[in-house]
Amino acid sequence: MTADKEKRRAISREAARRRRRVESEVFEDLSRLLPLPPSVQAHLDKPSVIRLTLSYIRMHTLLKGEAWTKAQARHRVKCGRVMNGGEEPREHDGGREEEEEEEKETEEMEASEETNLYLRILEGFLIVLSTEGDMIYLSENVSKYMGLTQNELMGHNIFEFTHPCDHEEIRNSLLLTPEDVWYGAKRDLVLRIKSALTPRGRSTNLKSATWKVLHCQGRVKVCVAPSSVSCLLLTCQPLPLSHTLLSTHTFTSQHSMDMRFTYSDQRITLLLGFSTEELLGRSIYDLCHAMDINHLTKNHLNLCFKSQSVSGQYRMLVRSGGYVWVETHSAVIPGCRPSKSRPDANQPLCILCVTYVLSGVEEPSLQLSVDQIVHI
Amino acid sequence: MSAGGSDGTADRQADLAAEEEGPNQAGSSLPAGELPRKRKGDVEERSGPHVQHSVDLQLDDDFSGSDEDDQHVKIKCFREPHRHIEKRRRDKMNNLIDELAAMIPACLPMARKLDKLTVLRKAVQHLKAMRAGTSSAFTNAAHKPSFLHHDDLRHLLLRAASRAADGFLLIVSCDRAKVLFISESVSKILNFNRIELTGQSLFDFLHPKDISKVKEQLSSSESPRQRLIDAATGVQVQVEAPGRPPHLSTGARRSFFCRMKHSRLAGKQEDKHLLPCSLKKKDTYRYCTLHCTGYMRSWPSSQLDAEAEVDAEAEADAEKETSSLTCLVTMCRLLVHVPHLPSKDLNVKAPEFVTRFAIDGKFTFIEQQATAVIGYLPQEVLGTSCYEYFHQDDLRHLAEKHRLVLRSKEKIETQCYKFKTKHGSYVSLQSQWCSFTNPWTKEVEFIVSSNRVVSGPGHTKEEEADGSEALQEDTKQLPIIPGLSRGVGTMIYAGSIGTQIANELIDSYRMNSSSSSGASSPFGPTQEKCPQISPQTSNSVSSREEAAGSSSQSDSRRAAGAGSATSESSGKQTQLDLDSMVVPGLSSFSSDEAAMAVIMSLLETDVNMGQTGDFEGLHWPF
pLDDT digits (tens, 9 = 90+) for B136-161: 444 444 567 788 888 888 878 877 77
A125 compared with B573, residue with greater pLDDT: A125
Tell me how far apart the alpha carbons of residues A331 and B297 are, in angstroms, rounded to a whole number. 27
Contacts of residue A57 in chain B, CB cutoff 8 Å? 100, 103-104, 123, 126-127, 130
* Chain B: closest CA distance from residue A85 (Å): 12
Range in A322-336, B101-115, B460-474 the model is least confident about: B460-474
The pLDDT mean for chain A works out to 83
Shortest CA distance to A262 belongs to which of A281, A275, A278, A277? A281
Q: Which of A9, A53, A342 sits opposite B100 (nearest CB)?
A: A53
The helix-helix angle for B538-548 and B591-612 (nearest 10°) equals: 60
Which of A242-246, B226-230, B459-463, B522-526 shows the lowest mean pLDDT across its residues? B522-526
Distance from CA of A152 to the nearest CA of B (A): 13
| Record: contact B138-A35, CB cut-off 8 A | yes
Scan residues 396-415 of B and list those with Cβ closer than 8 Å to A. Answer: none
Residue A248 to chain B, least CA–CA distance (Å): 8
Chain B residues with CB inside 8 Å of A245's CB?
225-229
When pLDDT is averaged across residues B519-545 and rounded to a whole number, the result is: 34
Predicted confidence band at A214 (pLDDT cuts at 50, 70, 90)? very high
Return d(Cα A156, Cα A167) in angstroms, integer: 15
Q: Following DSSP, what letter does each residue of B526-542 receive, concatenated? A: HHHHSPP--TTTHHHHH
Contacts of B378 in chain A (CB under 8 A): 366-368, 374
For B36-141, strand residue ranges (E) read: none
**What average pLDDT does range A290-306 have in this prediction?**
91
Cβ distance of B3 and A235 shorter than 8 Å: no
CA distance A197 to chain B (A): 17
Look at residues B237, B247, B273, B277 and name the one whose alpha carbon lies nearest to residue B259: B277
Nearest to B440 among A24, A56, A258 (CB): A258
Span A332-357, average pLDDT = 69
Q: Calculate the dihedral angle through the C-alpha atoms of A269, A275, A281, A286, rounding to the nearest 10 degrees.
A: -60
**Site from B107, B120, B227 to mutate, A interface, most A CB atoms within 10 angstroms:** B120
Predicted confidence band of residue A333 (pLDDT cuts 50, 70, 90): confident
CB contact under 8 A, B18 and A367: no
Closest CA of chain B from A376, distance in Å: 10
Of B171, B229, B383, the CB nearest to A243: B229
A292/B51 Cβ within 8 A: no
Where is pLDDT greater, at B313 or A373?
Answer: A373
Nearest Cα to Cα of residue A313 among A299, A303, A301: A299
Q: B159 contacts in A (CB within 8 Å)?
A: 219, 221, 233
Q: Which residue, among B163, B365, B447, B593, would best test binding to A if mutated, counting the most A CBs under 10 Å from its CB?
A: B365
CB contact under 8 A, A294 and B354: no
Which of A24, A286, A333 lies nearest to residue B3, judging by beta carbons?
A: A24
Determine the distance in angstroms separating the CA of B339 from the nearest CA of chain A, rounded to an integer. 6
Between B424 and B252, whose confidence is greater?
A: B424
Least confident of A110-114, B124-128, B140-144: B140-144
A348: nearest CA partner in chain B: B550
User: Mutate which of A2, A14, A48, A53 to disrupt the B interface (most B C-beta within 10 Å)?
Assistant: A53
Question: Chain A partners of B440 at a C-beta cutoff of 8 Å?
Answer: 257-259, 300, 304
Average pLDDT over residues B203-218: 86
Which residues 114-133 in chain B show a CB within 8 A of chain A? 116-117, 120-121, 123-124, 126-128, 130-131
Sequence-ordered list of residues with C-beta below 8 angstroms from that of B552, at least 6 positions apart, any chain: none
* Banded model confidence at residue A293, pLDDT cuts 50, 70, 90: very high
Distances (CA, A) of B290 to B178, B201, B255, B360: 18, 17, 11, 40
Lowest mean pLDDT among A126-140, A229-243, B525-539: B525-539
Which of B210, B293, B592 comes nearest A121 by C-beta? Answer: B293
pLDDT band, very low/low/confident/very high, at A215 (cuts 50, 70, 90) = very high
pLDDT digit string, tens, across residues B327-342:
888 888 887 654 444 4
State the best of A8, A68, A350 to mutate against chain B, taking most chain B CBs within 10 Å.
A68
Query: What mean pLDDT, rounded, does chain B reach?
Result: 62
Taking only the tens place, the pLDDT of each residue in B283-329 is: 456 788 888 888 888 766 544 443 344 443 444 344 334 456 788 88
Task: State whether residue A370 sits within 8 Å of chain B by CB.
Answer: yes
Q: What is the pLDDT averaged over residues B471-478?
A: 43
When pLDDT is averaged across residues A156-185 and rounded to a whole number, the result is 90
Beta bridge partners of A221: A231
Test A235 with B596 for CB contact under 8 angstroms: no
Q: Is residue B59 predicted with pLDDT exceeding 70?
A: no
Q: pLDDT band for position B114 (50/70/90)?
A: confident
Query: Which range among A17-26, B186-195, B371-380 shows the weakest confidence by mean pLDDT?
Result: B186-195
pLDDT of the residue at A279: 93
B157–A46 C-beta distance less than 8 A: no
Interface test with B, best of A257, A268, A315, A365 (most B CBs within 10 A): A257
Name the more confident of A99 and B100.
B100
In this prediction, residues A137-147 reach a mean pLDDT of: 90
pLDDT of residue B135: 53
* Out of A83-97, A179-193, B451-465, least confident range: A83-97
Min Cα separation B210/chain A (Å): 8
pLDDT in tens, B598-617: 444 333 333 333 333 333 33
Q: How far is A202 from chain B (nearest CA, A)?
A: 17
Query: B241: number of CA atoms within 13 Å, CB side?
Result: 3
Residues in chain A: 376
Assess A281–B contact: CB distance below 8 Å, yes or no. Answer: yes
> Would you say how long chain B is, in residues?
622
Nearest partner of B598 among B548, B532, B541, judged by Cα: B548
Closest residue in B to A81 (Cα–Cα):
B195
Contacting A residues, span 46-65, partner chain B, CB-CB under 8 Å: 46-47, 49-51, 53-61, 63
- Please give the pLDDT value at position B79: 57
Could B383 and A110 be called an inter-chain contact, meaning their C-beta atoms sit closer than 8 Å?
Answer: no
Which of A44-48, A181-185, B348-352 is modeled with the greatest confidence?
Answer: A44-48
B505 pLDDT above the threshold of 70: yes
For A344, which of B97, B230, B598 is closest by C-beta distance? Answer: B598
Overall pTM surpassing 0.80 (yes/no): no
The answer, yes or no, to whether residue A299 has pLDDT greater than 90, is yes
Q: Does A306 touch chain B (CB under 8 A)?
A: no
In chain B, residues with a C-beta closer than 8 Å to the C-beta of A105 are: 142
Higher pLDDT: A10 or B48? It is A10
Q: Phi and psi for B448 in degrees, rounded to 5?
A: -105, 135
Q: What is the 3-state secondary structure (H, E, C) of B361-377?
A: CEEEEECCHHHHHHCCC
- Which residue of chain B is at minimal alpha-carbon distance from A247? B225
Residue B603 pLDDT: 38
CB contact under 8 A, B329 and A137: no
Instruction: Please tell me which residue of chain A has the smallest CA distance to B171.
Output: A117
CB within 8 Å of B258: residues ≥ 6 apart = B206, B207, B210, B213, B214, B289, B290, B292
Total beta-carbon pairs less than 8 A apart between chain A and chain B: 410
pLDDT digits (tens, 9 = 90+) for A21-31: 999 999 999 99
Three-state SS string across B559-575, please?
Answer: HHHCCCCCCHHHHHHHH
Contact between A35 and B147 using a beta-carbon 8 Å cutoff: yes
Q: Which residue has the higher pLDDT, B444 or A373?
A: B444
For B487-516, b/e burial (b = at least 16 CB within 10 A) is eeeeebebbbbbbbbbebbbeebbbbbbbb
Q: What is the DSSP string of A146-172?
A: HSS-HHHHTTSBGGGTB-GGGHHHHHH
CB contact under 8 A, B49 and A15: yes
* Rounded distance between C-alpha atoms, residue B375 and residue B398, angstroms: 21
Residues A258 and B502: their CA atoms lie apart, in Å, by: 20
Binned at pLDDT 50, 70 and 90, residue B256 comes out as confident
Rounded average pLDDT over A137-161:
91
From B513, B537, B534, B516, select the one nearest B525 (Cα to Cα).
B516
pLDDT band at A315 (very low <50, low <70, confident <90, very high): very high
Assign B483 a pLDDT band (cuts: 50, 70, 90). low
Radius of gyration of chain B from Cα atoms? 38
In this predicted model, which residue has the larger pLDDT, B504 or B566? B504
User: How does residue A62 score in pLDDT terms, banded at 50, 70 and 90?
Assistant: confident
Q: Are strands A250-255 and B235-238 parallel, antiparallel or unpaired?
A: unpaired
Out of B125-134, B156-165, B263-272, B364-373, pick the least confident.
B263-272
Please tell me if residue A18 touches chain B, with a CB cutoff of 8 Å.
no
Cβ atoms < 10 Å from Cβ of B145? 16
Of A60, A105, A115, the CB nearest to B154: A115
Q: Which residues of A touch B160 (CB under 8 A)?
A: 126, 217-219, 233-235
Please answer yes or no on whether A77 and B184 come within 8 Å at the CB atom. yes
